[in-house]
């Protein structure tokens, strides 16, 4: 029987009619493989005329992966990319040396109202890629391999598993799967990934003799080959990969170096002071709103709906 190392509970935060549950990082576990932050957005019903508005903010040293079950969200970044995330598609942004982006409900969804539910993962870049040129990649739902295993339907979002490989770019060895498991399904989790976890979005599972309910993540001991059994119809995210070493997180910045994070903070302040013209960071085309560093004066906007992770 495989052992569960620990079970993490998501901490839910209300952002004003829309909530986010943060699973990683936690007090007892900072990361699983290269994944240093995992947020479940919603589920929520956004009324007509309202929407999500995460104003422009910077990142370094990580890749963000947005994956929706319901609804849509518009991404815009300082590379000039504007891309709508839709259910089952992948929006992957690699910040590298630095990028600025916003996330908003688009005009069509804002006018009509819509349901919104999804997962956003922050993936720490390995040392050789921390200062890479920023990139953005979009993949439609039919590009990810889908297959049956243990009575469940799996979609391979990122990495390799069960002799399948996703076309989504990876920066270090990892796996990220979406499983729809009817009651009674039993999934043997993929081997050879170092660190593994299973996050229950809905339903309930049992693994290593322990029940795990919705909103909780089972983290497995290194080298374990766990089996996840669905006690009820369940939606599960399976994730993990090679341990890439210690990472510091401050606001939206991730780095192996605290000095590099301090430089990013200085660069963001300088960019604000310089009106984002010929400065280290630039705003996405058409964007005029931005989020200040925590504790700094905001630019006269409503409180930010921000995705920052705790300092570490």
For residue 220, give the nearest of 183, 246, 191 by alpha carbon: 191
**Rounded to an integer, what distance in angstroms lies between the CA atom of residue 57 and that of residue 302?**
15
pLDDT in tens, 151-173: 999 999 999 999 999 999 999 99
Q: What is the pLDDT of residue 126?
A: 96
Please give the full DSSP string across 3-24, using - where no structure is assigned: PEEEEEE-EEEE-SS-EEEEEE
312 pLDDT higher than 50: no
| Per-residue pLDDT at 307 exceeds 90 | no
Q: For residue 246, what are its two tokens?
A: 């210690």
Average pLDDT score over residue span 16-44: 89
Q: Please report the pLDDT score of residue 194 as a whole number.
A: 84
| Sequence ranges of the domains in the chain | 4-241
Q: Where does 4-241 sit in CATH, by number? A: 2.60.120.10
How confident is the model at residue 304, as a pLDDT?
Answer: 45
Q: How confident is the model at residue 17 (pLDDT cuts 50, 70, 90)?
A: low
Whether the bond between 25 and the residue before it is cis, its omega within 30 degrees of 0, is yes
Q: Where are the alpha helices (DSSP H) in the chain?
A: 107-112, 258-273
Separation between Cα atoms, residue 289 and residue 305, nearest integer Å: 12
Contacts of 200 (CB under 8 A, 6+ apart): 212, 213, 214, 215, 216, 217, 218, 234, 235, 236
Instruction: Give the per-residue pLDDT at 282.
Output: 98
What are the tens digits of pLDDT across the range 255-282? Answer: 999 999 999 999 999 999 999 999 999 9
Question: What is the model's pTM?
Answer: 0.92
Q: Are 13 and 20 in contact (CB under 8 A)?
A: yes
Strand pairing of 186-188 and 227-230? Answer: antiparallel
């Amino acid at each position: 029987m495989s052992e569960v190392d620990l079970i993490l509970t998501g901490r839910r935060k209300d952002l004003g009619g829309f909530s986010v549950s943060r699973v990683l990082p936690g007090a007892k576990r900072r990361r699983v493989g290269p994944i240093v932050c995992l947020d479940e957005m919603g589920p929520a019903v956004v009324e007509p005329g309202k929407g999500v508005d995460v104003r422009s903010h910077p990142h370094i040293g990580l890749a963000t992966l947005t994956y929706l079950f319901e609804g849509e969200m518009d991404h815009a970044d300082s590379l000039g990319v504007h891309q709508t995330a839709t259910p089952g598609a992948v929006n992957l942004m690699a910040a590298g040396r630095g990028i600025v982006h916003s996330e908003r409900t688009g005009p069509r969804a804002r006018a009509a109202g819509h349901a919104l539910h999804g997962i956003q993962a922050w993936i720490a870049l390995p040392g050789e890629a921390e200062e890479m040129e920023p990139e953005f990649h979009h993949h439609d739902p039919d590009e990810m391999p889908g297959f049956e295993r243990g009575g469940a339907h799996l979609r391979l979002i990122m990495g390799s598993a069960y002799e399948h490989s996703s076309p989504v770019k990876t920066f270090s060895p990892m796996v990220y799967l979406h499983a729809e498991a009817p009651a009674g399904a039993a999934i043997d989790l993929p081997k050879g990934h170092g660190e593994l976890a299973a996050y229950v979005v809905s339903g309930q599972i049992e693994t290593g003799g322990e029940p795990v309910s919705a909103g909780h993540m089972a983290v497995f001991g290194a080298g374990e080959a766990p089996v996840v059994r669905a006690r009820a119809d369940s939606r599960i995210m399976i994730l993990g990969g090679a341990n890439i070493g210690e990472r510091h997180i401050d606001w939206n910045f991730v780095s192996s170096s605290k000095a590099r994070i301090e430089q990013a903070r200085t660069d963001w302040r300088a960019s604000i002071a310089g009106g984002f013209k010929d400065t280290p960071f630039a705003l996405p085309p058409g964007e005029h709103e931005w989020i200040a560093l925590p504790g700094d004066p905001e630019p006269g906007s409503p409180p930010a709906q921000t995705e920052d992770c705790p300092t570490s």
